[in-house]
Amino acid sequence: MSASEAARLMSEETVRDFWEARPCGDHIVGGLDERFHHDYAHFFDEYDAWRYDQEGHILACLDAVDWRDRDVLEIGLGQGAESEQLIRRGARWSGLDLTQESVDRVATRLRIRSLPHVALRRGSALHIPYEDNSFDYVFSHGVLHHIPDIERAQAEIHRVLRPGGVLVAMLYARRSLNYQVSIRIVRRGALAAVYPLRKTGLVPPRGMLRAHLDNAERMGLSRYLDLETFTHHSTDGPLNPFARVYSPSEVEHDFPDFTLVSSYQRYMHAPPLPVHGLPGAGRLGWHLWVHLRAKPDVGRSAPDKDAPAAGAMGITEGHGGKR
């Protein structure tokens, strides 16, 4: 194994361990263990209600695509909220997640809600455990920007898509209020201002601020405030090991096996700034939705005559949202 391969594997292991211990969104409604005492049905009800109250644009973005009777692979499952939405919209759904915890939770959701599906597997986006040319769509919400070796992951996604298939993904947006103002200026500035007080009683002994201060002390303040480093720790909590932000041109660079067909932004979100629900998400939203069509590949079979055309797949140039 080469040194670079070992580094990639270590990076993925670190990412996996983080999300295994912190299932995406669990803490937001109080925790499956802590508040709901493993009452899965109640937990899923509360989680979905919160999610689509705060991020109702997700449903409209899903409605921009005709999933009916299409083979769909979802990569990165969280609590399975979008998994359920895709199935209810008629997708022949298969799922993949890096963590056993997410796979177990989604399996429980599928079972207790009697949701039909094709397959659910634990595995890596770097080695997708599905056959070539298996899917019309790959869907991934808030996951691909956490994969260090994204070029390898996108090549694997291309492999499992049928010719002309489409990747629909949500990535964190570089041209967003959250990144350009909150992360780059407000949060970094606040941390630098508070850092000299870190060993006084003025700073709480626990919580997000304390975790940031501990990171800065361990790494050194200037290194921690380096924008790339700080971004890793400012998207999904101070302990998050890796995250990227994207512009459309960066998507084109990091997904060379695809053609960018459509991109649009949603979700005005920039804590601690009180901007949720304000207008402007189409230009400054934190969520960058992209539709990417798989490029033709030498040696692959010709497109299936029954494969969905661009119009049937709900692809529109330059914008998204509910049709």
DSSP string, 4-29: HHHHHHHHHHHHHHHHHHS-TTGGGG
Mean pLDDT of 182-205: 95
Answer yes or no: do 201 and 223 share one domain: yes
pLDDT band at 297 (very low <50, low <70, confident <90, very high): confident
What token pair was written down for 254?
Answer: 């990091």
Output the pLDDT for position 314.
Answer: 38
Burial 58-68 (b: 16+ CB within 10 A, else e): beebbbbbbbe
pLDDT band at 5 (very low <50, low <70, confident <90, very high): low
Q: Let me know if residue 69 belongs to a domain.
A: yes
Q: Let me know if residue 209 belongs to a domain.
A: yes
Answer yes or no: do 105 and 217 share one domain: no
Which structural domain, as residue segments, surrounds residue 202? 177-232
Collect all residues with Cβ–Cβ distance below 8 Å to 41 and sequence separation of at least 6: 112
**Tally of domains within the chain:** 2
Collect all residues with Cβ–Cβ distance below 8 Å to 111 and sequence separation of at least 6: none
Mean pLDDT of 62-71: 98
Q: Find where tokens 């999904």 sit.
A: 236
Answer yes or no: do 252 and 187 share one domain: no
Q: Let me know if residue 320 belongs to a domain.
A: no
What is the pTM (predicted TM-score) of this model?
A: 0.89
Answer yes or no: do 74 and 166 share one domain: yes
Report whether pLDDT(306) > 60: no
Output the pLDDT for position 38.
Answer: 86
Mean pLDDT of 33-43: 90
In this structure, what CATH number is given to the domain that contains residue 66? 3.40.50.150
Q: Let me know if residue 304 belongs to a domain.
A: no
The HSE-up count of residue 218 (CA atoms within 13 Å, CB side) is 9
pLDDT band at 33 (very low <50, low <70, confident <90, very high): confident
